Amino acid sequence: MKSLHEKLSLYGATALSDAELVGIIIDDIALAERLISSHPLSELQQNDIARLRMQEGIGLARAAKIAAATELGRRASKSDAQRVTHILSSEDAERVFRPLFDGLKHEECWVIFLTSSARVVDRMRISQGGVQATVVDNRLIFKRALELLATQIIIAHNHPSGSSEPSQADIALTKRIKEAATLFDINLIDHIIITTTGSYSFRSHRLL
């Protein structure tokens, strides 16, 4: 472990592999390599302490360290996302939305409200549901948009299943919200589906 700590000191954390980072956290690089080989970081992040400690050689103390480290990273990402003041691209939007969905095992849908100059004025969760679906009430979206005098909105939801491809229900939801937005002279800029390993932008795929 001494050489690993020296590598961290000399080159920084970005120079370390996933297994090396976990190895430093749990103080066992061999165990970390076995853990990462069977559990990618995206999956590891979603495991709670009870499940982590069941892995061979992990135990309660090491499971707690992993859980604390992943939660710290999630909070750092969320804090960074909250400092975004303008959204000018789908990438900007994903940067804001992704921390909201990290670690969730159920679907949620969120909306960002913007001015005509793309300035963020608010963000709000509009629904949460089960593993495969969530029900969105359009009235909640446009009631808040009118209160804020927002002229643009971006919606996003997560797919805990891991597939970023939109379902027929996702496509129908997007169409319904876009049609309702038009009635209020509000522009639906994008609908983004977030997974642990990727995303899908309706705008980028020319579905808006």
Per-residue pLDDT tens over the stretch 148-158: 999 999 999 99
For 109-124, b/e burial (b = at least 16 CB within 10 A) is bbbbbbeeebebbebe
Report if pTM > 0.95.
no
pLDDT in tens, 46-100: 666 666 766 666 778 887 887 777 777 767 666 665 667 789 888 889 988 988 8
11-15, 38-42, 161-165: least confidently modelled range = 38-42
DSSP 14: G
Number of alpha carbons in the 13 Å side-chain half-sphere of residue 81: 21
Task: Give the residue among 18, 208, 196 at the shortest CA–CA distance from 99.
Answer: 196
Using pLDDT thresholds of 50, 70 and 90, give the confidence band for residue 183: very high
Higher-pLDDT residue of 139, 63: 139
Q: How far is CA 84 from CA 2, 79, 141, 153, in A?
A: 39, 9, 21, 15
Q: Which CATH number fits domain 85-201: 3.40.605.10, 3.40.50.150, 3.30.460.80, 3.40.140.10?
A: 3.40.140.10
pLDDT for 81: 58
Tell me which of 13-17, 41-45, 88-92 is least confident. 41-45
